[in-house]
Amino acid sequence: MVRLNVFLLLAVVACSLGVVTSQHKARKVFQALEAEQERARQLEIEYGQLQLELSTWGTAPRIEKIARERLKMSTPDTARVVSATPAGGPSR
Amino acid sequence: MMRFKGKVAHRFAESPLLRLSLPPWRSRLLALMTLGAFTVLIGRAFYLQVLNNDFLQEKGESRYRRDIEISASRGRIADRHGDVLAISTPMKSVWAIPSAASLTPEQTRQLAALLETDVRHLTAKLNSERTFVFLGRQIPPPVADQVAALKLPGIGLDKEYRRFYPTGEMTAHMVGFTGVDDKGLEGVELAFHSQLLGQPGSRSVIKDRRGQIVEDVGSTKPPQDGQDIRLALDSKIQYLAYSHLKQAVAENEAKAGGVVVLDVRTGEVIALANWPTYNPNNRETLSGAQLRNRAVTDTFEPGSTLKPFTIALGLESGKVRPDTIINCAPGRLTIGNATISDAHPHGALSVAEVIQKSSNVGSAKIAAMLPAQKMWEMFNDVGFGQQPRLGFPGEVTGRVRPWKNWRPIEQATMAYGHGISVSLIQLARAYSVFARDGDLPPLSLTRLDSSAPAGQQVFSAKTARSVRAMLEMAVQPGGTAPKAQIPGYRVAGKTGTAYKLEGRHYAKKYISSFVGFAPASDPRLIVAVMIDEPSAGKHYGGEVAAPVFASIMSSSLRTLGIAPDAPLQVAQSPAAAKPPAAKARL
């Protein structure tokens, strides 16, 4: 009788220690998940900000300004335009 | 060991008190009462722990359980190629509970410096009677972190969103803007508000002593981000339309102007620009004039741009053919006690030439052959007097009076676009009956991915084609708008120069307009231009609006890579373009 009780007591202690460690592990893992999710949100925000930056740099007025001023580009004169028709006859 | 001998003098059991024999019920009663008290306690404990434990459970949980709101962001607005036109990015707001916020002067000074406000202003806010005040809104996150680092009592931070418009004033009227609470106030932001709006989610969690989330409890509701809206707008063409319009308004010293570009095949709105405009990112000094989306919310008497519709109805009902001769001499026509006149008198003109030379007398004579009801129905069928159904705020229907009380003079003036008012977008859309084969498609602000919706047939394809041919003549030498020509492309279009109504009288102020489409052999784009009160000497549609049309159309066709349909020729010299200028008319 005594031996059984001692055995059961040890089993209970072992189980409760197991519960404690697994709970602890679960929390650790959960916090890691939380951190990753937070990072995902941050990256999402950063993506939005980069998109904003992309469209700000890529606005038509800026492109035109650079093309005209820095790259010295201009619309070709009509006299210099040659219309190319695809082989097999003129287009519509 | 000591022993007692003999009788012990006094024994405990013989205490006189004990010798009293109490009745046994007294002790039993006491035992019973104690038992009863314990039973009540156990019963109460059982009740609280097992039967009715909700209240205590809740109280307990509230010590460590937190409900967190997860914010959802508003949808993005992009153009047809996916370039972002409006996007939300998180910012912070700084608030205070004045009764709890007792700052030292030094702290107040620091806070004011971070929030870029006046110290006195901030102190006034902190001393106010209210229970909650915002100290600053839409603060950039780095600044907000500095505020949080000060660890001031009674001061807190909240997350909120700020909307950015990278294309700024260029697309201001189309995209619109939102207020500080993410509520759409103008343009597409208002029209598509319910789709753009996100639904915030929520979750309940257990937090530990350090404020870290330890566990999810209960159900979580994921946030629903707002939908992204893909507009039909092409930002390159929008830019071309906007910059040419801006330049034209400046050159003509005009009060305002508007441009609408439509896709003929789908009815999509490719570009919509107005001048004056505003920067939606900085709306501190906004005036009503800047805010007005003229192309949609303002109506004007269109003038001659309406003539093709009268002629088309004449052709459709078989009253005239393109080569029917109308006598327009001597350039005046008296109906009742009013006289209609041409700016320059013509002799006999064919119906096609009435359009080409833009003769008021000719149009009025053709209108006289048509029943008023038919004309009214036609105006309705092409969308005048009807809502354009874009969903835009402040869309106007324009004014087409019921035909029953038209007087003959009114029918005659309506034939050339007076006594009727339309918006620029209605006018542009109506021209799609000529650019297409007589049908009118619904307009769309958003990009159509599936096939374009079928239009409603207004004129027969034959009528539409012959009017198209006449409109092409109007742009050629001898017409009213040779300045609308584009090298390499066949163009069709019509000028309009209308007097402005001021009160009940026509003032000597004009609205110059031009509506046209290209390439005429297979129309792809409709461009409508309206310039309000040009006052730099020129005011005819062919002089003011047609060049704007030509520059927007030619650059747009090139941008879209649409093949030229006319043999290339050297652009017209200014001398060759001069005589038609004198012929331009109402």
Q: Tokens 């619109």 sit at which residue?
A: B176
Q: Which residues are B528's β-sheet partners?
A: B260, B515
Closest approach of chain A CAs to the CA of B572, in angstroms? 11
| pLDDT computed for residue B463 by the predictor | 94
**C-beta atoms of B239 and A81 within 8 A:** no
What mean pLDDT is predicted for residues A37-49? Answer: 89
Residue B133's region, left for phi above 0, alpha for psi from -120 to 50, else beta, is: beta
| pLDDT computed for residue A92 by the predictor | 44
| Chain A neighbors of B220, CB-CB under 8 A | none
Residue B566 has pLDDT above 60, yes or no: yes
| Chain B neighbors of A91, CB-CB under 8 A | 563
Residue A86 has pLDDT above 50, yes or no: yes
The tens digit of pLDDT for each residue in B118-135 reads 888 888 888 888 778 888
Does an H or E element contain B483, and which? none
Residue B576 has pLDDT above 70, yes or no: no
Residue B573 has pLDDT above 60, yes or no: no
Please tell me which residue, B452 or B378, carries the higher pLDDT value.
Answer: B378
What mean pLDDT is predicted for residues B36-43? Answer: 96
Closest approach of chain A CAs to the CA of B232, in angstroms? 17
Is the Cβ of B160 closer than 8 Å to some Cβ of chain A?
no
| pLDDT computed for residue B216 by the predictor | 82
Q: What is the pTM of this model?
A: 0.80
Residue B175 has pLDDT above 80, yes or no: yes
A residues 40-69 closer than 8 Å to B (CB): 45, 48-49, 51-52, 54-56, 58-61, 64
Reported ipTM: the value is: 0.77
The tens digit of pLDDT for each residue in B272-284 reads 999 899 999 888 7
Distances (CA, A) of B45 to A11, B32, B37, B62: 31, 20, 12, 21
| pLDDT computed for residue B583 by the predictor | 38
Asked if domains B68-230 and B235-279+291-583 share a fold, the reply is no
Residue type, B60: G
Is the Cβ of A74 closer than 8 Å to some Cβ of chain B?
no
pLDDT confidence bin for B581, thresholds 50/70/90: very low
Please tell me the distance from the alpha carbon of residue B155 to that of residue B160, in angstroms, as a whole number: 16
Interface test with B, best of A31, A66, A78, A80 (most B CBs within 10 A): A78
Please report, in angstroms and rounded to a whole number, the separation of the first and last CA atoms in chain B: 148
**C-beta atoms of B213 and A34 within 8 A:** yes
Residue B579 has pLDDT above 50, yes or no: no
The tens digit of pLDDT for each residue in B524-563 reads 999 999 999 998 888 888 899 999 999 999 999 988 988 8
**C-beta atoms of B164 and A52 within 8 A:** yes
pLDDT confidence bin for A85, thresholds 50/70/90: low
Interface test with B, best of A59, A65, A66 (most B CBs within 10 A): A59
Please tell me which residue, B388 or B424, carries the higher pLDDT value.
Answer: B424
Residue B398 is encoded by which pair of tokens?
A: 């324009």
| pLDDT computed for residue B274 by the predictor | 93
CB nearest A56 (choices: B76, B166, B238): B166
**C-beta atoms of B568 and A51 within 8 A:** no
| Chain A neighbors of B236, CB-CB under 8 A | 60
Query: Which chain A residue has its CA at the smallest distance from B71's CA?
Result: A41
| pLDDT computed for residue A70 by the predictor | 94
CB nearest A81 (choices: B87, B238, B568): B568
pLDDT confidence bin for B9, thresholds 50/70/90: low
Is the Cβ of B499 closer than 8 Å to some Cβ of chain A?
no
CB nearest A55 (choices: B73, B83, B90): B83
Please tell me which residue, B569 or B161, carries the higher pLDDT value.
Answer: B161
The tens digit of pLDDT for each residue in B242-262 reads 999 999 999 999 999 999 999
Residue A58 has pLDDT above 70, yes or no: yes
| Chain B neighbors of A31, CB-CB under 8 A | 212-214
Closest approach of chain A CAs to the CA of B71, in angstroms? 11
Closest approach of chain B CAs to the CA of A4, in angstroms? 32
- Residue B32 phi/psi, 5-degree rounding, is -65, -40
Please tell me the distance from the alpha carbon of residue B136 to that of residue B116, in angstroms, as a whole number: 9
Residue type, B504: R
| Chain B neighbors of A34, CB-CB under 8 A | 212-213
CATH number (3.40.109.10, 3.30.70.920, 1.10.3720.10, 3.90.1310.10) of B68-230 reads: 3.90.1310.10
| pLDDT computed for residue B4 by the predictor | 54
Is the Cβ of A84 closer than 8 Å to some Cβ of chain B?
no
What mean pLDDT is predicted for residues B210-233? Answer: 85
Q: Which residues are B508's β-sheet partners?
A: none
Is the Cβ of B84 closer than 8 Å to some Cβ of chain A?
yes
**C-beta atoms of B522 and A27 within 8 A:** no
- The question of whether B317 is a catalytic residue gets the answer no
Distances (CA, A) of B444 to B145, B187, B424, B555: 44, 14, 15, 23
| Chain A neighbors of B237, CB-CB under 8 A | none
Q: Which strands, in side-by-side order, build the sheet including B505-518?
A: B269-275, B256-263, B525-532, B505-518, B492-502
Residue spans per domain, chain A = 2-71
Q: Which of B88, B235, B304, B556 is catalytic?
A: B304
Please report, in angstroms and rounded to a whole number, the separation of the first and last CA atoms in chain A: 103
CATH number (1.10.275.10, 3.40.710.10, 3.30.70.890, 3.40.50.720) of B235-279+291-583 reads: 3.40.710.10
| pLDDT computed for residue A91 by the predictor | 47
Please tell me which residue, B4 or A31, carries the higher pLDDT value.
Answer: A31
CB nearest A52 (choices: B73, B84, B236): B84
| Chain B neighbors of A26, CB-CB under 8 A | 215
The Cα angle at residue B287 between residues B548 and B549, in degrees rounded to 5: 5
- Residue B388 phi/psi, 5-degree rounding, is -70, -10
Is the Cβ of B519 closer than 8 Å to some Cβ of chain A?
no
Distances (CA, A) of B262 to A50, B256, B283, B376, B471: 31, 21, 29, 25, 18
Percent of chain B with pLDDT over 70: 94
CB nearest B487 (choices: A45, A60, A78): A78
Please provide the DSSP assignment of B443-478 as one string.
PBSBPP-SPPPPPEE-S-HHHHHHHHHHHHHHHSTT
Average pLDDT of chain B?
Answer: 86
The tens digit of pLDDT for each residue in B463-490 reads 999 999 999 999 998 888 899 999 889 9
